[in-house]
Structure 1
Amino acid sequence: MAAPPDDSDGTATPPKASSDAKHRATPVKQPSYTREGITYRQLPAWHDANTLYEFRREHGKSQYNVVSDAKAHFKKLEAGSISVWAAYDGKTLVGLVSAEATSEYRTRNGKGRPWAIGHLVVRASHRRKGVGSALCRLAAALLLAGNQQCAEVYAAVHADDEVAIATFARAGFEELVTHADYQRGRDATVFRKRREGGVPTAAAKPPAPPRPKPKAEVVPRWQRDYAEGRPVYSVARDSYPGGEPRDGAS
């Protein structure tokens, strides 16, 4: 979780004019809503990753968190491999949460590719006011509703971090397990939020129409008579094919 005040206005640094950054000049409207004076919104891919990293580094350090990989993490925003949601009090950034697709978590009967919460930071002056849980709730809702391959969102926190545990519980995540996380040298408590019904399946294709039956073979009468051992009469040329022979025909 997070700490001391921040003087950042939370806005992206205007890009320099260059061909490789041309797309940054086009603003993209992202999902947002306002609750109790705090505006929550998803950040666009062109948002300045360094601003997010500095906020994480200055306000997210605690005995339970490390930020060594945060810069590389936020650089993924422009590539589209992570998503970030932020909370603003006026123009001041007061909280953020990020998430990315992962293969680290998956239940045995899970479907689709799970996502995991990467970093959750709330400014000290806005903690215990529901900002963190609102961010997590928004992130999970948009991922589960907007990403058709995402059916599960996970989060892992230090098992002793009671504030973080309460935050995810209020956001509607279910507690799954606490285990020894040897990679990070801690006991970690894992939470999950999933879409009801799992990943939507494509509508069943209609069955292929039956193949048309081949046309019945028309066998001339004289061939039928010959096959059945009956006398075969020659048919006059001007008689109807297959009809009775004319009088006097042999």
Structure 2
Amino acid sequence: MIKKYPLDELSTVLGRIMGLLLTEEKVDRAVQLLSRAVRDSIPGTLGAGVSILDPNARPVSSGSTDAVVQRADTLQYELVQGPCLTAWATEQSVLIRDVAKDGRWPGWCSAVAGLPIRSVVSTPLLTDGEALGAMKIYAATPNAFDEATTTLMELFAAPAATLLAHIQTTETPARISESLQAALYSRDLINRACGVLMERHTLSEDEALQQLMKQARTSRTTLSEVSAALLAVSTDRPRGTSDGLR
């Protein structure tokens, strides 16, 4: 169980992260420092990472505190599934109490079975209503994190997202503007495609997203392309026929 942080201690940690806004100018360096700050601030954390993702869930910049986190994150990108990508895609925090018993990402959970990872919290980095990426922590024991941990991570993520958005905008304003526009379009496609699958197959939002990710991995395309294809087919075919995603 995570200890309850007193207000002054939490304020100190948040102040440390916000301080980076004035001192750090490069994204790669910033995500590394943020990862270390989060790891050192949350009890029971084995390692932490901060990933910035483009609209197709590809890592643009990624920082991790150790090789275990780096490997766990790399497997998510390779398999196109996992808590970090889900947190980014849904713009909601993800809590895994025990990786060995969680069935939401069977491929990723199986792939990390040999790593000292049992508990996970992944939180989206939200700024101006858009997710730049995700911040995550890993623990070696089950039930190391709970809802209080998730809340604390969300408190960290807010200033972290502000920091990263500021640095990105300062460094490459044109690219980031285009990226955010693409993200808006991509997110709309994915959300609409999930809605179609949820209605057609009585799926939860997470199950629908997993279906899209699986299809993207199988067809070696992006989530946006799979979503656009599904929506195009759905508008042309009678209700009850197959959409190829089950």
- TM-score (structure 1 length as normaliser): 0.27
Relative contact order: is structure 1 or structure 2 higher (C-alpha 8 Å, sep ≥ 6)? Answer: 2
Q: Which has the larger radius of gyration?
A: 1
Higher relative strand content? 1
Higher relative helix content? 2
- TM-score (structure 2 length as normaliser): 0.27
